[in-house]
Structure 1
Amino acid sequence: MDLSSLQLLLLPGKVFEKNHLIPEYEALYRFWKRFWTHVYSEANSEAHFNLDDFLRQDIICVVLYRGNVAGCLCHSYFGVNRESSRDHSYFRFFSPYFLKTLNQHNISVVQTFEFLSIDPLWRQRNTHLALAEILIGCGLKVLQHSFADAAIAIARRDVNVHGKAHKMGYWSVEEEIVKRNFSCDTIVCLRTGVKPHPDAQTLQITEQIWEQRLNATAFSALDPIESDTSYNKINQWRRAK
Structure 2
Amino acid sequence: MHRVRRVRRVRHGSGRVAGRPGDTVIASVSTLALCCGLWLLHAGTGTSAPPQPSAAQAHSAGPGHGVGQVPASAALPPSPPDRIRIPSIGVDAPLTGLGLTDTGSLDAPPPERPDLAGWYEAGTTPGESGTAVVAGHVDNAEGPAVFYSLGALRKGGTVEVDRRDGGTAVFTVHAVEVYDARDFPDEKVYGAAVRPELRIITCGGGYSRTTGYRGNVVVYAHLTGSR
TM-score, with structure 2 as normaliser: 0.25
Higher strand share: 2
Higher relative contact order (CA 8 A, sep 6+): 2
Higher helix share: 1
TM-score, with structure 1 as normaliser: 0.24
